[in-house]
Amino acid sequence: MMLKATKIETDILIIGSGTAGCFAAITIADHSNAKVIIAEKANIKRSGCLAAGVNALNAYIVAGQTPETYLNYIKNDSEGVVREDLAYTMAQKLNTVTKKMEDLGLVILKDAKGEYVSRGTRNIKINGENIKTILADEVARSNNTTVLNRVNITDYMIKDGKVVGAYGFSLDTNTFYVISAKAVICTTGGAAGLYRPNNPGFSRHKMWYSPFNTGAGYAMGIRAGAEMTTFEMRFIALRCKDTIAPTGTIAQGIGAQQINSLGAEYEKEYGIPKTSIRLYSTVMENKHGRGPCYLKTQGIAQNQEQELAKAYLNMAPAQTLKWIENGRGPAIENVEIEGTEPYIVGGHTGSGYWVDTKRTTTLEGLYAAGDVAGGSPQKYVTGCFAEGEIAAVSAVGYIDGQNNCWPDEVEIDKKLAEVNHFLEDGPSCYSVEELEDAMQKTMDDYAGGISSGYMYNAKKLQVAEDRIDELLELSDNLKAQDLHQLMHIYEVIDRLYVSKILIQHLKARKETRWHSFQENADYPEKDDQNWLKYVNSRLQDGKVEILLRELVKKDEIYEHKNR
């Protein structure tokens, strides 16, 4: 089977209909008559990170707090390396996007006065099992929006240095899509599956982040020469053992502390509590022989246990099933915790596209929002909504006066041939799965995965760099028997590109700024003198160029110069 090209055009193309993509589409429909195509690899109803639901909104300005206090929280947690302009403009919108979601049907817990009930100083309680279907239903209300489900976008369409659309293929028919758009918004999410996962066997995809978010948006940008930022600030989640279910529900919901196998509360021994320290302290306790570590839940009341079981069903059902299957719930047994494999995810850390305050990338015509956009950690779900809104408003402003354009036919034929060569008959020495295993093993062993306690050094990174380049070469010879396998090929290639850039970022930051997230054994200390700056990168002619950029402050409007 060979693919055949079909051309379509629209005003704005949104790639990925997860949290940020849906909110961008809803915003465009609310603010303009622009025609929108959403290209979605799976189906908008449950695609992206929120497929199973989410059980709290973790970024909200509760009573007594302000966008400034939220920004200060991010700055502190990120050890100062944050795009303050991005974090602040995001924080300013957290409450209005939340109100919008409530208006669309999201259930939010309120007190007798009608105020949202907070969980801590930044969180509110919801029933978010259906948050994705609420978004999908609202997107469907717009007559100007077309959703292309099961269309896998592979690369941007470039004309005279501008992004003018994207190429992709259907998972159902032999259609190669050539989509022309006056503006493109990338909302593909982050990257999982770069490293060997916690459950490397049958349950390899039982991970925290969506295993179907394979860094496509990063990789497309990297290949097109977009500037990326802060990939070295990996996100490693502290999660419930085996199920890799979130721990915040227990830690914040019932105030459970982290304890080691001796029953001692250890987190405070490692300095001021921060996201990375909660993980790092657990890694170190295990390293020093005091594991396993737990969330101390033993002895909680029966009604607390029942509510926890419900909360997890609304977000990570495996955890509830595990408690029931074991016959030992959290009231009887403490909940064991562990660190995940490292992910690249801009909704939690600063990794992603280098964008200006309007969320324009360094490629004209291309906007980024949500997990794929960098510089602004701790966005979480509501921050991704906020960025989706900002990017949408910017894109609507940009398309005024722009025309649809197309690359030369020769260029389109070349891209089609690139995809079709994976579908040609012929031998392939390795399967996609073999290359995926090789990539994850390499990253785990040599780029700071679970098995090495998240630590790396320059010599190990050199091994990783060489092997990832070899695997990229090998990936060109992969063969697909069907369209699903073709998607798998692109997923692995995209993750190899993300890994390639990640390794260079890890090499470049010659300090240790975020324990475990970025643990450079050659430079084990934080170095504020030299490294309060962003590590950025750009792929040009096959070589990764590293750029160090000065910090951007809260009230600055950052614009790209010298694109």
Partner 1 sequence: MSIKIDSQKCNNCGKCRQVCPGNLLYEDATGKTEIRYPRDCWGCTSCVKECNGKAIRYYLGADMGGKGTFLYTRQEGKLLHWIIIDPDGGEKVITIDKSQANAY
Burial class (CB within 10 angstroms; exposed 0-12, middle 13-18, buried 19+) of 272:
exposed
Least Å distance, CB 325 to partner 1, is 4
With binding defined as CB under 8 A, does residue 336 bind partner 1?
Answer: no
Contact status: 305 vs partner 1 (CB under 8 A): no
Q: Is 147 in the site for partner 1 (CB under 8 A)?
A: no
What is the smallest separation between the CB atom of 53 and partner 1, expressed in angstroms? 9
Residue 46 interacts with partner 1 (CB under 8 A)? yes
Q: Is 252 in the site for partner 1 (CB under 8 A)?
A: yes
Q: How many CB atoms lie within 10 A of CB 64?
A: 8
- Pick out residues in 49-68 that bind partner 1 (CB under 8 A): 51-52, 55-56
- Select the span of 107-115, 216-224, 497-505, 544-552 touching partner 1 (CB under 8 A): 107-115
- Whole-angstrom CA distances from 507 to 496, 500, 522 are 17, 11, 10
Of the ranges 195-203, 261-269, 382-390, 456-464, which one interacts with partner 1 (CB under 8 A)?
195-203
Neighbours of 20 (CB within 10 A): 37
Stretch that binds partner 1, among 196-204, 414-422, 530-538, 551-559 (CB under 8 A): 196-204
Cβ 110 to partner 1, closest distance in Å? 8
Residue of the chain from 5, 109, 463, 547 that contacts partner 1 (CB under 8 A)? 109
- Report the residue from 107, 331, 412, 532 that binds partner 1 according to the rule CB under 8 A: 107
Are 504 and 199 in contact, with CB atoms under 8 Å apart? Answer: no
CA 380 to CA 300: how far, in whole Å?
29
* Close Cβ partners of 340 (under 8 Å, ≥ 6 residues apart): 197, 198, 207, 208, 209, 236, 237, 238, 239, 244, 450
Q: Which of 140, 138, 134, 136 is nearest to 106 (CA)?
A: 134
- State in angstroms the smallest separation of the CB of 506 from partner 1: 27
* Distant-in-sequence, close-in-space partners of 431: CB < 8 Å, separation ≥ 6: 478
Cβ of 128: how many Cβ atoms within 10 Å? 22
Helices (H) and strands (E) in the chain, counts: 16, 20
Residue with Cβ nearer partner 1 (217 or 448) = 217
Contacts of 30 (CB under 8 A, 6+ apart): none
Among 26, 74, 295, 311, binds partner 1 (CB under 8 A): 311
**One residue of 5, 8, 104, 171 binding partner 1 per CB under 8 A:** 171
* Binding of residue 242 to partner 1 (CB under 8 A): yes
Choose one: 125-133, 286-294, 339-347, 463-471; the region binding partner 1 (CB under 8 A).
125-133
Cβ neighbours for 177, distance < 8 A, ≥ 6 positions apart: 5, 6, 8, 39, 148, 151, 153, 166, 167, 168, 169, 170
d(CA 533, CA 4) in angstroms, rounded, equals 46
Q: Is residue 27 involved in binding partner 1 (CB under 8 A)?
A: no
Based on the shown chain and the rule CB under 8 A, indicate whether residue 206 belongs to the binding site for partner 1.
yes
How far apart, in whole angstroms, are the C-alpha atoms of residue 277 and residue 275? 6
Distance between CA atoms of 166 and 148, rounded to whole angstroms? Answer: 13
Stretch that binds partner 1, among 27-35, 76-84, 319-327, 502-510 (CB under 8 A): 319-327
Produce one character per residue of 133-167: b if its CB has 16 or more CB atoms within 10 Å, e if not: ebbbebbeebebbebbbbbbbbbbbbeeebbbbbb
Q: Cα(136)–Cα(150) distance, rounded to whole angstroms?
A: 15
- The CA distance from 217 to 41, in Å, is 12
Interface with partner 1, residue 134, by CB under 8 A: no
Residue 130 binds partner 1 (CB under 8 A): yes
Q: How far apart are CA 144 and CA 392, in angstroms?
A: 14
Beta carbons of 342 and 195 less than 8 angstroms apart: yes
- Work out which of 103, 111, 160, 325 binds partner 1, going by CB under 8 A: 325
Q: Which tokens is 221 given? A: 């940008």
- Structure-token pair, residue 159: 């004309």
Tokens of 515: 């324990």
Closest to partner 1 by CB, 230 vs 258, is: 258
List 114, 201, 289, 427, residue binding partner 1 (CB under 8 A): 201
Percent helix / strand / coil, the chain, rounded to 5? 35, 20, 45
For the bound state, the minimum distance from the C-beta of residue 8 to partner 1, rounded and expressed in Å, comes to 21
Cβ proximity to partner 1, 78 vs 123, nearer residue? 123
Instruction: In angstroms, give the least distance from the CB of 271 to partner 1.
Output: 27
Q: Which of 34, 219, 236, 250 binds partner 1 (CB under 8 A)?
A: 250
The verdict on 296 binding partner 1 (CB under 8 A) reads no
DSSP output for 509-557: --S--BTTTBEETTS-S--HHHHSEEEEEEEETTEEEEEEEE---TT--
333 forms part of the interface with partner 1 (CB under 8 A): no
494 binds partner 1 (CB under 8 A): no
Rule CB under 8 A: say whether 205 interacts with partner 1.
yes
Interface map 266-295 toward partner 1 (x if CB under 8 A) = ------------------------------
Question: Residue 450 to residues 56, 260, 363, 494: CA-CA distances in angstroms?
Answer: 28, 19, 35, 22
Residue 394 Cβ vs partner 1, minimum distance, rounded to whole Å: 28
CA distance 229 to 353: 6
Per-residue x/- marks for partner 1, 459-488, CB under 8 A? -------------------------x--x-
203 near partner 1, rule: CB under 8 A: yes
Q: Binding to partner 1 by residue 126, rule CB under 8 A?
A: yes
Shortest Å distance, C-beta 202 to partner 1: 4
Among 39, 42, 345, 391, binds partner 1 (CB under 8 A): 42
* Binding site residues, partner 1, CB under 8 A: 41-43, 45-48, 51-52, 55-56, 107-109, 117, 119, 125-127, 129-130, 149-150, 171, 199, 201-207, 210-212, 242-243, 249-250, 252-254, 307-311, 313-314, 317-318, 320-322, 324-326, 484, 487
